[in-house]
Amino acid sequence: MKKLSITVITAFILVLSGCSNYFDSGNLQNAGMLVETSIHDQPWDKKGYEGLLAIEEQFDIDVYYKEGVETQQDVREAVDELVNNGVNLIFGNSTTYGQFFEKISSVYPEVHFVYFNGGQFSENVTSLNFNSHAMGFFAGMLAGEMTETNHAGIIGAFEWQPEIEGFFEGVTYQNPDAEVNFKYVNDWNGQEKAIEMYETMRDEDVDVVYPAGNAYSASVIKEANEDGIYAIGFISDQSEIASETVLTSTVQHVDELYKLAAEKFHEGDLRGGVLTFDFQDDVISLGEFSPEVPKDVRKMIQEEVEAYKDTGLLPNERVTE
Q: Answer yes or no: is 49 within a domain.
A: yes
Considering the domain architecture, whether residues 203 and 123 belong to the same structural domain is answered as: no
Helix ranges, 60-209 (H): 72-84, 97-104, 133-146, 162-174, 191-203
Closest CA to 226 of 204, 248, 251, 198: 198
CA atoms of 299 and 243, how far apart (whole Å): 18
Q: Answer yes or no: is 32 within a domain.
A: yes
**DSSP assignment letter at 289:** P
Domains identified in the chain, total number: 2
Q: Answer yes or no: is 319 within a domain.
A: no
Considering the domain architecture, whether residues 117 and 140 belong to the same structural domain is answered as: no
Q: Give the pLDDT score at 269.
A: 94
Considering the domain architecture, whether residues 144 and 204 belong to the same structural domain is answered as: yes
Considering the domain architecture, whether residues 7 and 72 belong to the same structural domain is answered as: yes
Closest CA to 277 of 131, 88, 143: 131
Q: Answer yes or no: is 316 within a domain.
A: no
Q: Give the pLDDT score at 214.
A: 82
β-sheet bridge partners, residue 125 = 113, 122
Considering the domain architecture, whether residues 177 and 227 belong to the same structural domain is answered as: yes
Q: Give the pLDDT score at 215.
A: 85
Closest CA to 117 of 92, 88, 148: 92
If residue 44 lies in a helix (H) or strand (E), which one and from where to where? Answer: helix 43-59
Considering the domain architecture, whether residues 11 and 147 belong to the same structural domain is answered as: no
CB 94 within 8 A of CB 36: yes
Closest CA to 13 of 79, 75, 99: 79
Considering the domain architecture, whether residues 23 and 163 belong to the same structural domain is answered as: no
Q: Give the pLDDT score at 320.
A: 56
Q: Give the pLDDT score at 91.
A: 98
Considering the domain architecture, whether residues 270 and 295 belong to the same structural domain is answered as: no
Considering the domain architecture, whether residues 243 and 181 belong to the same structural domain is answered as: yes
Q: Give the pLDDT score at 319.
A: 64
Considering the domain architecture, whether residues 173 and 301 belong to the same structural domain is answered as: yes
Considering the domain architecture, whether residues 159 and 194 belong to the same structural domain is answered as: yes
Q: Give the pLDDT score at 55.
A: 98
For residue range 94-117, list pLDDT tens digits in order. Answer: 999 999 999 999 999 999 999 999
Q: Give the pLDDT score at 2.
A: 53
Q: Answer yes or no: is 237 within a domain.
A: yes
SS3 181: strand
Q: Answer yes or no: is 213 within a domain.
A: yes
Q: Give the pLDDT score at 190.
A: 87
- The enclosing domain of 65 has a CATH number of 3.40.50.2300
Q: Answer yes or no: is 286 within a domain.
A: no
Closest CA to 69 of 50, 51, 91: 91
Q: Answer yes or no: is 150 within a domain.
A: yes
Considering the domain architecture, whether residues 209 and 110 belong to the same structural domain is answered as: no
CA atoms of 134 and 150, how far apart (whole Å): 22
Q: Which residues of the chain fall below pLDDT 50?
A: 1, 5-26, 321
Longest dimension (CA), the chain: 69
CB 304 within 8 A of CB 137: no
Q: What share of the chain is helix, strand, coil (3-state, %, to 5)?
A: 40, 20, 35
Instruction: Report how far apart, in Å, the C-alpha atoms of 275 and of each of 126, 183, 315, 317 are.
Output: 7, 29, 24, 23
Which domain, by its residues, includes 152? Answer: 133-252+291-311
